Amino acid sequence: MSDSESSAMSDNTFRDPNPSQGQETLMPQLDTLIAHLVAAKRSLSSINHVWRANEIVTAARSALEESVVVSARIGFLRRGLNHQLRVLYNVRTEVQEVSRRGRSEFATVLKSLDVADARLRKTLDLLRETVVHASFRPEGEDSKSLHDFVEERGVEELHTALKRSIDRTNTAQAELESSNCAFDDELQSIKEALGNYRAATQLASSRTSASSSSPSSSNASLPSLASIPPMLHSLETHAQEMANLLESLVRHFDLCVTAVKHTEGGGAAARSITGDVPATVHVTGRVGPNIEEGINANLNAPLDPLSESEYQEMVNVLIKDAAEAEDVVMEIQDRIGEMETVLENVVTQRDVVRSVYNATTGVFKHLSALASTHLPGYIAQAHNFTRIWHEEYEHIQSGLADLSDLNTLYDGFLEAYDGLILEVARRRHVRHRVEKVLRDAKHKLHQLYEEDVNAREAFRIEQGDYLPSDIWPGISRAPMQIEFRRISGGNLKSVAVDAPDQEPAAVEPKEEARAVFSGEGGEDGEVIPELPKALIEEAVARFNVRMGHLP
């Protein structure tokens, strides 16, 4: 309705109709007025839309307030969440690095142990394969290898100690791996929660992008609340306009009631039509004054007299307004429909913010549970492994040095045995040279003896008859004879031969080897083994290999 029409309705005054004049012309008009009154009464049902509009505005305002508060909480939580996730993954990286570094170092040490142990076992196998030549041992003794002369108890004890260190390290490493697997399971739960968080955030961004004309809104990680205040303002505008439209319908209803009551026979009809107007129908707030009071006051108000012209003007305004009332009702319905759509968008954005908030708090719940229950244990397990590994690393390094020393000792035994073979060969060679010297000396001494005997005999024959026998008692003696006698050399003062795994024994000094000339001979007691030539050549070849010489 126009403002002029509303003002015209507000300027209406009542008149006392004359039932004796114009009776026939007013009756048809009464039916029309009653029809308009019924339509006006029906249009007042739009008050429900106005009341719903008020509810929509209240709900939208509440949704906006909640969205703002929850969005602020999300922003705060996200900053804390990013920090907590960085710390958590840094801890996981450090724990994983402890495990990786421990595995690498342990594998390197085990490889060194395997090499050293294989080298020692190879040396022990060589000791087992090297049979001591029978000429070195007492006659009738069973065949022996070099391994029979070493004590392996030290090797077994060393292996036991190393195995204990390896087992303890393996156990600690297995516990750390189990702890890290549990840590990964916790992280997987957090990743799933983060997946829900990202899904909610992407959904929020997509909905925000779909409902916003801003090109940058599609890149936002959280729903923008910038569009909600204009929506709320639009809702308030619609609500105010609907209240204004309802007020015009109320004025039209009042005008219809007044017109009907000022028409002959219309009082009873007006009371009959308006009698069932709900007493509880009223609008508050932005809609305007209490309609119930306005309607009841108008129904019960006494009639003021109207002039014919005033009455006719009122009827004209009523008829004009009646033509527009349906449009007003339709406009109210259109506006309430648009408000419902806007409210749905507002509530949707609020729900999106809620879903993002719930997803964010879900991640925080996982983080809180992890930090308060299992995370300290995961960190402690890494420290425990580091402590055990440092302890056992020292033990294994010491055992590795002992393995190397044992291998050096046993390898030295093999080398010494080859040296013994070469020493025996050298001594036999020296003995052969000595025998040759002895043979040559005996031959020359025998020649000198024969020459001396012949010369003495010739001197006795030529000069003996002329010399008194007592002039020199030795003139008739035969020349001396020389005989070589072998004397035992005893033990050397500075060298003693002991078992490879024992300290050198003290050696008591013996008399030095000496040769004397006597008229009787004998052996010196030294027995030098007669070794096969092939055995000596093998020892020489091994010696050359050790010394880096060509065979």
Sign of the alpha-carbon torsion through 466, 472, 478, 479:
negative
Which pLDDT value is given to residue 521? 36
pLDDT at 164: 94
Predicted local distance difference test score (pLDDT) of residue 17: 41
Consecutive 10-residue runs of the chain (551 residues): their mean pLDDT?
A: 37 37 48 76 81 88 88 84 85 91 93 93 91 86 88 88 94 92 86 78 64 40 66 85 84 78 66 58 39 49 70 78 82 87 86 85 82 87 93 93 92 91 91 91 92 91 82 85 81 55 39 37 67 87 75 46
- What's the rounded Cα separation, in Å, for the pair 161 and 172? 17
Q: Where are the alpha helices (DSSP H) in 130-265?
A: 153-211, 228-261
Identify whether the C-beta of residue 403 lies closer than 8 Å to the C-beta of residue 116: yes
pTM here is 0.58
Q: Residue 27's pLDDT is what? A: 39
Distance CA 312, CA 309 (A): 5
pLDDT recorded at residue 316: 79
Half-sphere exposure of 403 (CA within 13 A, CB side): 24
Distance, CA of 125 to CA of 117 (rounded, Å): 12
pLDDT at 198: 76
What b-and-e string marks burial along 315-327, b requiring 16 or more CB atoms within 10 Å of the CB?
bebbeebbeebee
CA distance to 34, 36, 326, per residue, from 39 (Å): 9, 5, 9
Q: What gap in Å lies between CA 5 and CA 314, rounded to an integer?
A: 10
Q: Within 10 Å of residue 431's Cβ, how many Cβ atoms?
A: 12
Distance CA 47, CA 239 (A): 11
Enter the tokens of residue 105.
Answer: 């170092």
Q: Determine the 3-state secondary structure of 484 from DSSP.
A: strand
CA–CA distance, 397 with 402 (Å, rounded to integer): 9
Q: State the pLDDT at residue 247.
A: 84
Provide the pLDDT for residue 524. 59
C-alpha distances in angstroms, 276 versus 44, 45, 54, 56, 250? 12, 13, 25, 28, 16
If phi > 0 it is left, if psi is from -120 to 50 it is alpha, else beta; for residue 360 that is: alpha
Query: Per DSSP, what are the bridge partners of residue 145?
Result: 131
Nearest to 236 by CA among 46, 43, 44, 59: 59
Q: What share of the chain is helix, strand, coil (3-state, %, to 5)?
A: 75, 0, 25
